[in-house]
Structure 1
Amino acid sequence: MAELRAVPSGDESPEGVDPNARLADLLRQSSWGDEGAFSQLYDAVAPRLYGMVVRVLRDPAQSEEVTQEVFLEIWRQSARFDPDRGSALGWMMTIAHRKAVDRVRSAAAAGRRDHGYHEANQDVDYDSTAEAAQASLEAERVRKALQTLTPAQRGALELAFFGGYTHTEVAAMLDLPLGTAKTRIRDGLIRLRDTLGLSS
């Protein structure tokens, strides 16, 4: 896959065929090394996955690169897809979101390294240092609290709050009814609140 090619909207399926079942079947065939099936899978979902990535990265060039990484991961991990645990599209969208977030974190880490010397040699007043330390402790508490959620709750919350997606968009990405997506987000927030000891 040298470059991200123009593809159709991603919603086309042969008449009478369940799109989710078709994607799951293409994933299964891809896991057997069927390049033709993988090409069909690419054409079917590339617009959705690229759209997810570009929403996170806000950079078309980087988004194309990350989308290629996503498809490489899908090709390598296709045998791990379990239709009993969710839809094929939801599984692939989760990979896309994770890869995009990883790129953001990698870029942030590189930026911190680039500015590390400068920051280390700046005079920082005590209040700023204390505030930064407190923020770091709070972030660690939140990270640990997130690990107490179920994978379903955590995935929905990450899309809604870190990805900036609406409940309707989260439901579409995870191939869930809107009410189910809202319930996962609400239950996840309640569990986070209780874990962090916050009042309602």
Structure 2
Amino acid sequence: MTQPLQFGNAGAGGPRLEEVMERVSHGDKDAFAVLYDAVVKTVFGIAVKVVRDRAQSEEVAQEVMIDLWRQAARYRPEHGSVMTWVATIAHRRAVDRVRSAQAAANREHATAVRDQSRPFDEVAEQVETRLESEQVRRCLRGLTELQRQAVTLAYYQGLTYREVAETLRSPLPTIKTRMRDGLIRLRDCMGVTT
């Protein structure tokens, strides 16, 4: 039966961090709890210094702790202390988070710039409107007097068929017929296809 781990220095009788790491590499959850308590503040501190956002730093610290559990077997004491190894992993993870956030911001900016439509060309719009207006006036001149009056009252003054008939003192069926005929002539004159 294994003894519960209490981290301490070798002189105090507790296991050294390297020994704890060895047990973590074999899947010892109690050893990982000891490792966690020993390094989490350092990991979080490194993350905060690099990322500069508390919530993001908490996520980075959590990711680092998961990495430590998964990569424990990769630790080699001859390459440096456990704290150096942990700090290296924490720093790399934090830098990756910053780079990822910057890349996302760059993508969003590039998308916004790319999606920005051409500026509205007010002069071209005015010219086009003027040409269309001139064509409508020319086509209106080709209508009979009653057709022109009926269409003008209905479309430019917003009157109903009944109001147009009352204004022009003509029977409603006559106004409807003149409007229909006038609109057909306008459509043909303007080259509108249905």
Q: TM-score range by the shorter chain?
A: 0.5 to 0.7
Tell whether 2:88 aligns with 1:94: yes
CA distance in structure 2 between the aligned counterparts of 1:18 and 1:84, rounded to whole angstroms: 23
CA distance in structure 1 between the aligned counterparts of 2:111 and 2:32, rounded to whole angstroms: 46
Give percent identity, aligned residues only: 49
2:10–2:16 CA contact under 8 A, matched in 1: no
Q: What residue number does 1:47 align with?
A: 41
Shift of 1:18: 9.3
Q: What residue number does 1:16 align with?
A: 11
CA distance in structure 1 between the aligned counterparts of 2:16 and 2:114, rounded to whole angstroms: 54
Tell whether 2:53 aligns with 1:70: no
Cα pair distance change 1:87/1:17, threshold 3 Å: farther
- Code of the aligned partner of 1:101: V
Runs ≥4 in structure 1, deviation > 4 angstroms? none
Shift of 1:74: 0.6
2:73 to 79, 99, 104: 79
1:104-152, CA deviations, whole angstroms, 9 ceiling, x for partnerless residues? Answer: 0000010011111233478xxxxxxxxxxxxxxxxxxxxxxxxxxxxxx
Shift of 1:15: 6.4
Shift of 1:24: 1.1
1:109 to 103, 108, 112: 103
How many residues align structurally? 110
TM-score for the superposition, normalised by structure 2: 0.52
CA distance in structure 2 between the aligned counterparts of 1:17 and 1:29, rounded to whole angstroms: 19
CA distance in structure 2 between the aligned counterparts of 1:42 and 1:88, rounded to whole angstroms: 12
Coordinate RMSD, CA, aligned: 2.2
Tell whether 2:30 aligns with 1:36: yes
Shift of 1:48: 0.8
Cα pair distance change 1:107/1:85, threshold 3 Å: same
- Code of the aligned partner of 2:21: L
- Code of the aligned partner of 1:16: G
CA distance in structure 2 between the aligned counterparts of 1:38 and 1:110, rounded to whole angstroms: 34
